[in-house]
Amino acid sequence: MPHKLLFVCLGNICRSPSAENIMNHLIDQADLSEHILCDSAGTSSYHIGSPPDRRMSVAAATKLGIKLRGHARQFQKSDFHDFDMILAMDRDNYQDILALDPKEQYHNKVYLMCEFCSRHTLKEVPDPYYGGVEGFNQVIDLLVDACEGLLQYIISQHLTDKIGEL
User: Which residue numbers are catalytic?
Assistant: 9, 15, 127
Q: From CA 56, how far away is CA 9, in angstroms rounded? A: 14
Q: Are strands 36-42 and 85-88 parallel, antiparallel or unpaired?
A: unpaired
User: Helix, strand or coil for residue 47?
Assistant: coil
The secondary structure of the chain in percent helix, strand, coil, rounded to multiples of 5, reads 50, 15, 40
Does residue 41 contact residue 8 with C-beta atoms inside 8 Å? yes
DSSP state of 75: -
Q: From CA 18, how far away is CA 12, in angstroms rounded? A: 9
Give the H/E segment covering residue 86.
strand 85-88
Q: From CA 117, how far away is CA 19, in angstroms rounded? A: 13
